[in-house]
Copies of this chain bind each other. A is one copy, B any other.
């Protein structure tokens, strides 16, 4: 079967070369086979695995979750309950971030809408930053 170097893997998957090495270093990808001159050598199985990782990252899954999902994907006979649980947890996390970001957006919008284009001494944005008490959300 054909094997290819890291540059080709990068082009096939759209994942940058340093990122591929990073994934290997933290165990998302297994240690690559090496040529006699120490270059990494890959085959199509790695392409599939790396695309899986890229897709999961594009959906915002964290690396820890992806590690688990990869393990699960390799055990096709297990029930997919854990996959669903991970995904729903991720969804809840996204919803949380969305809610906080929306609240933030409203607060910033409300502030900037009051701007009357005068001097800084009367700028509402600066006043809000200087005076407002607790802030709209505890943190980002």
Contact A78–B137 (Cβ < 8 Å): no
Chain A facing B: main interface SS = helix
Could you say how many copies of this chain the assembly holds? 2
Contacts of A59 in B (CB 8 A): 104, 107-108, 111, 129, 135-136
Given A55-B135, A73-B130, A94-B108, answer yes or no on A115-B79 (Cβ-Cβ < 8 Å): no
Q: How many residues of A contact B (CB 8 A)?
A: 59
Distance between Cα atoms of A123 and B130 in the complex (Å): 52
CB contacts (< 8 Å) of A81 on chain B: these are: 117
Does A76 sit at the interface, judged by CB under 8 A? Answer: yes
Judging by beta carbons under 8 Å apart, are A58 and B101 in contact?
no
